[in-house]
Structure 1
Amino acid sequence: MLAYRHAFHAGNHADVLKHLVLVAVLRHMAQKEKGFRVVDTHAGAGGYSLEGRYARQKAEYAAGIERLYDAADLPPALADYVAQVRAFNGDGALKQYPGSPAIARMLLRPQDQLRLFELHPTDHRILASFMADAPNVQVAMKDGFESLKSQLPPTTRRGVVLIDPPYEIKTDYTRTLAALREALERFADAVVVIWLPQLQLLESRQLPQRLKATADKHAKKGWLNARLTVAQADARGFGMLGSSVFVANPPHTLHEQLAPCLPLLARTLGEGHGQHALEKSTHA
């Protein structure tokens, strides 16, 4: 569980999809003056150098954010996401990539709260240092799944939960499903954003349907699922084909915002194998 380091994958196609959705969700939440709380169950280090030895080992960002960084005429939601990455780089060359905590920090207002959980000791140390002076931010080296119960519901009754474990162990799938159920049972209005890898594993194929069934039962505003496929499995059936982001209680504008982004991402990041899908429940 503690072997995973997101620095190897920073800025890849999965980060692009996940953070595109996150930026759109946070922008929507900030349209109301009342504050809200963001809970990030697997926060990572907060930000990543793309010039370091981890990121350069596979250079996954080259087939991800790098292809969008200087693009023109992007759909508004995608342009907004890329603008956050540019701001993280001081509007200069692409040398760093913001993780979810950094994106949230850039977009949250003084009345909003950020709660970050990370178990990897090195990533936690980096994250805590990065967020040391940020107001209304708490960083804890605790299990994010187990910590949800202490964070929901927030006192403002407005909140976003981001769940994106590495899925390196199969229990991550069952714990993610349980976390969605617990979050919605404790706080039925919570916007829950869940990142999922697209793999040839039974657990990976089953989880989206199980999340939909749980959201159908517990989420007041339904669900949305955005999937981006960028590769084919290797000869042995291995490899990450893409990913998806599932949102319980999605903002009512999210489907319309993502609709022009996914075809572009499939073409730009898909290596000739790009596919996309955007589903929502009938009452979302």
Structure 2
Amino acid sequence: MNYRHAFHAGNHADVIKHVVLLAACDALLAKPTPVFAVDTHAGRGLYRLDAEASRRTGEAEGGIGRLADVARQCAPVERYLQAVQACRMAQGPDAYPGSPWLLAHALREQDRIAACELQPEEARALKAVFADDRRVAVHARDGYAALKALLPPRIGETRFGRGLVLVDPPYEAQLAEFDAALAALRDALQRWPQGIQMLWYPIKQRRLLRPFLRRARALDARSILVAELMVRPDDSPLRMNGSGMLVLNAPWKFDEPLREALPALAKGLGEAGASWHLEWLKAPA
């Protein structure tokens, strides 16, 4: 694969993905029992927004770089920015946390994280980030295949009944990636039916996602929520105009922080024609 997330770290897609991820962590931490989290496409875990890759695209300037005013009016966005600030206090002012870093920051001593990364260079960097954190196991392997080995989660005598799976592929295969992602989610639900399963997906033209959303609706999950942020109209198939999160087994009232965050993000990050969409494909019973 040629994809390198360093070119896109901190952009609008990262913002919605990480806001939703932290909301899921907060929902899980409402109970004291241990949590297990799997990140199937973890990347290198930590990025530098002053690095050449980030400066070349400037995408972070249109993402996290625009959020200071939004955070003052929106608690879920403030929660996310506080996590980013914690990363910068530890790693330097231009650091940006990837999803495994945010998981490690949000979760507790008794919780465990499996971070999977196939690209050797990225996997080595990921291992270095978490070399001193015994809660995080880095797996230098394909994340889809790893789910079969990692679920249902058990470490020693501890069985983890609660937790989450984050699937965040690079979509180098474009629409064909949805086939692999949905198959992985379907299998994960069978192996760990109580876990929260989340899939990030890009949006160029939303009408092209209708077959994917129909298939997602048919998954055997207790609840299915879609949260989408469009930073511009979906009028071009040549650029990413927005992105979304599919959340399976979303907890009761999980839509409430997102209903606050999404319009604030559309206003703060969007161009003319920006929009947001939040829908229960299957509401919690």
TM-score of the superposition, structure 2-length normalised?
0.92
What pairs with 1:110-125 in structure 2 (closer than 5 Å)? 110-125=109-124
Task: Provide the identity percentage.
Answer: 40
Q: More deviation in 84-93 or 169-178?
A: 84-93
CA contact (8 A) 1:86 1:92 kept: no
Pick aligned residue for 1:195 from 197, 200, 206: 200
Q: Tell me: CA distance 1:180–1:254, structure 2 relative to 1, closer, same or farther (3 Å).
A: same
Equivalent residue, structure 1, for 2:156: none
Find out whether 1:225 has 2:226 as its counterpart: yes
Q: Tell me: CA distance 1:94–1:212, structure 2 relative to 1, closer, same or farther (3 Å).
A: farther
3-state secondary structure, aligned to 1:195: strand
CA contact (8 A) 1:232 1:241 kept: yes
Find out whether 1:156 has 2:156 as its counterpart: no
| Cα distance in 2, alignment partners of residues 272 and 266 from structure 1 | 10
The aligned amino acid for 2:260 is P
| Cα distance in 2, alignment partners of residues 261 and 233 from structure 1 | 20
Equivalent residue, structure 1, for 2:29: 30
Equivalent residue, structure 2, for 1:59: 58
Equivalent residue, structure 1, for 2:275: 275
Q: Tell me: CA distance 1:12–1:203, structure 2 relative to 1, closer, same or farther (3 Å).
A: same
| Residues 18-64 of structure 1: per-residue CA shift (max 9 Å, x gap) | 00000010111112111011000000010100000011111101010
What pairs with 1:93-132 in structure 2 (closer than 5 Å)? 95-132=94-131
Which sections of structure 1, spanning at least 5 residues, go unmatched?
none
Which sections of structure 2, spanning at least 5 residues, go unmatched?
154-158
Equivalent residue, structure 2, for 1:86: 85
| Cα distance in 1, alignment partners of residues 118 and 91 from structure 2 | 32
Equivalent residue, structure 2, for 1:14: 13
| Cα distance in 1, alignment partners of residues 213 and 98 from structure 2 | 24
3-state secondary structure, aligned to 1:145: helix
| Residues 55-80 of structure 1: per-residue CA shift (max 9 Å, x gap) | 11111010101111465523221111
Q: Tell me: CA distance 1:264–1:93, structure 2 relative to 1, closer, same or farther (3 Å).
A: farther
CA contact (8 A) 1:173 1:204 kept: no
| Cα distance in 2, alignment partners of residues 78 and 253 from structure 1 | 17
The aligned amino acid for 1:258 is L
CA contact (8 A) 2:70 2:264 kept: no
Question: Could you tell me how far 1:94 is from its partner in structure 2?
Answer: 5.0
3-state secondary structure, aligned to 2:213: helix
CA contact (8 A) 1:16 1:65 kept: yes
Question: Could you tell me how far 1:201 is from its partner in structure 2?
Answer: 8.3
Equivalent residue, structure 1, for 2:191: 186
Question: Could you tell me how far 1:203 is from its partner in structure 2?
Answer: 6.0
The aligned amino acid for 2:218 is A
Question: Could you tell me how far 1:202 is from its partner in structure 2?
Answer: 7.5
3-state secondary structure, aligned to 2:19: helix
Q: Tell me: CA distance 1:227–1:162, structure 2 relative to 1, closer, same or farther (3 Å).
A: same
Q: Tell me: CA distance 1:156–1:72, structure 2 relative to 1, closer, same or farther (3 Å).
A: closer
Q: Tell me: CA distance 1:21–1:233, structure 2 relative to 1, closer, same or farther (3 Å).
A: closer
The aligned amino acid for 1:27 is D
The aligned amino acid for 1:173 is F
Q: Runs of 4+ in structure 1 displaced over 3 angstroms? A: 69-72, 91-94, 200-205
The aligned amino acid for 2:45 is G
CA contact (8 A) 1:115 1:138 kept: yes
Equivalent residue, structure 1, for 2:171: 167
| Cα distance in 2, alignment partners of residues 279 and 72 from structure 1 | 23
What is the RMSD computed on CA atoms of the aligned residues?
Answer: 1.9
The aligned amino acid for 1:163 is V
Find out whether 1:212 has 2:217 as its counterpart: yes
TM-score of the superposition, structure 1-length normalised?
0.92
| Cα distance in 2, alignment partners of residues 164 and 203 from structure 1 | 19
Question: Could you tell me how far 1:91 is from its partner in structure 2?
Answer: 8.6
Question: Could you tell me how far 1:151 is from its partner in structure 2?
Answer: 1.2
3-state secondary structure, aligned to 1:165: coil
